[in-house]
Amino acid sequence: MAKTVTLMKIFLASPQDVADERGIAEEVINEFNLTSGQHMNIRLELVRWETHTNPGLGKDGQDVINNQLSEDYDIFLGIMWKKFGSPTKRYDSGTQEEFNRAYEKSRHNKDEPYVMFYFCNRAPLSLDDIDIDQLSLVKTFKKSVSEMGLYYFPYDSVRDFEKLLKIQLPRVVFEIQNKQKSKETIELNKLKNEEVVSKSNVDLNNLEDERGVLDYLYEGERCFGLGNDNLIKIVSNVDIVKNRIVKQGENLSYLEASKLPIDTSAKIAMLNSIASDLLDFSNNINPELDSLEINFNKAIEQYSYALEYYYEMIILDKESIVSAFKHFDIFIDNISNAQVGIRTFKNAVDGFPKLSSSVIKARREASTSLERLLNILSSMAVLINEYQANLKRIIDDVNNEG
């Protein structure tokens, strides 16, 4: 007898400046359908104006979109960055109108649809990309939706958005599945969508390539271990160069404060030594930064796959989940401790006097590397905390079931 799967629709609303995120949302949903969707007997359908509307007549363009898309969706996915969008005859933008329609429906229909909203914090590529009026509207909208009770999520890059969505979307889908057992179903053979399969190298029929939850946990722990090694090396490099710079700076200050005559060439030689240390520091940690980011992203990816399996399983190995908690706690502590020292060192580097061209260049290189490191660590902390929150919810669900 053919299995049936639950169809859940996700409505995607956003202005046009987050095209990359819109593409990522489609990729994440397609991946879900080809992986955990198979196990959970769920198929997600992404609803967007690009694919689900046709030319037509109405009060305005947004009115045509509203009439064609209706409100028959389970999840509202909103994304906003620096653009608020074009006004309609009813609201300041189409995205605002779409959000308010979803909000009103959710308010009167027991939290259906489920509303997910993300705001991007990354800086524009240039000042020409900044529209003060649009930014002001975004800021006002963010404040108003918060007052309406919306818990939105910020992110700093497209990659961070992808990782957050991979972690959070399965959880939302799982909650909806539990609440809506009587959703419309479709035959399993319809799941094999030709277009989706053509975009993936996954062979749905090749069971030999399937991996279990413990396989993903093991690989995640291995990658986290490698990432932790990268972090330790980076912090060690920070401490070494910081001590050198402090000592050289003290020597320079001592010589300048003394009555001993010091010619300009001697000062430049000392400054060149400081610049050399800073450049060596940047050259040494940049490869480690690349490895740290790669290993962390791989670890989160593996743990996300394991998380999707948890949603499917009724009886869970709670010991493995508790173990993951301990693993994350150690990594979070390392990140927190590293951030303090790195910020202090970056402030010292940024405040170093512009005494020579070599120092100016080296200071810029070191500051750029340190800023990138702080951004990576901040992203890691946010994603780990979110993953821990999802693990805690799973444990609570299992305890409640018991």
Residues 237, 201 share a domain: no
| Dihedral, 100, 106, 111, 112 alpha carbons, nearest 10 | -110
> pLDDT, tens digit, for every residue of 190-214?
444 444 444 444 443 443 456 777 7
Residues 82 and 143: their CA atoms lie apart, in Å, by: 15
Pair (145, 238) in one structural domain: no
CB 346 within 8 A of CB 281: no
Instruction: Note whether 44 and 185 are same-domain residues.
Output: yes
If one compares 246 and 98, the residue with the highest pLDDT of the two is 98
Q: Which two tokens stand for residue 147?
A: 């007052």
Q: What is the pLDDT of residues 266-315, one digit of tens each?
A: 777 778 888 888 888 888 888 888 888 888 888 888 877 777 666 555 44
Q: How confident is the model at residue 316 (pLDDT cuts 50, 70, 90)?
A: low
CA distances to 83, 178, 311, 317 from 314, rounded to whole Å, are: 43, 12, 8, 10
Query: Both 354 and 327 in a single domain?
Result: yes
Same domain, 325 and 337: yes
Considering 209, 239, 256, which residue would you say is the last residue of a domain?
209
Residues 362 and 275 in one domain: yes
Q: What is the CATH number of the domain that holds 98?
A: 3.40.50.11530
Residues 230 and 134 occupy one common structural domain: no
Q: Which domain holds residue 250?
A: 213-401
pLDDT of residue 256: 59
Residue 159: Cβ-neighbour burial (10 angstroms; 0-12, 13-18, 19+): middle
What long-range pairs does 89-97 form, CB within 8 A, spacing at least 24? Answer: 89/59, 89/60, 89/62, 89/63, 90/62, 92/137, 92/141, 93/15, 93/137, 94/13, 94/61, 94/62, 94/65, 95/13, 95/14, 95/15, 96/141, 97/62, 97/66
Domain boundary among 188, 209, 230: 209
Both 168 and 225 in a single domain?
no
Task: State residue 206's pLDDT score.
Answer: 42
**Range name among 118-122, 164-168, 242-246 with the lowest pLDDT average:** 242-246
Same domain? 230 vs 298: yes
Q: Does the pLDDT of residue 176 top 50, yes or no?
A: yes
Q: What is the pLDDT of residue 107?
A: 84
Question: What is the DSSP secondary structure assignment for residue 122, as one 8-state letter?
Answer: P
The more confident residue out of 133 and 108 is 133
Number of helices (H), then strands (E), in the chain: 12, 6
Q: What is the mean pLDDT of the chain?
A: 79
Q: What is the CATH number of the domain that holds 235?
A: 1.20.1050
**112 lies in the same domain as 242:** no
* 95 lies in the same domain as 226: no
- Percent share of the chain, pLDDT over 70: 76
Total domains, the chain: 2
162 and 229 both lie in a single domain: no
| CA-based R_g, the chain, Å | 26
Mean pLDDT in residue range 63-81:
82
pLDDT at 68 over 90: no
Domain's final residue, options 183, 209, 235? 209
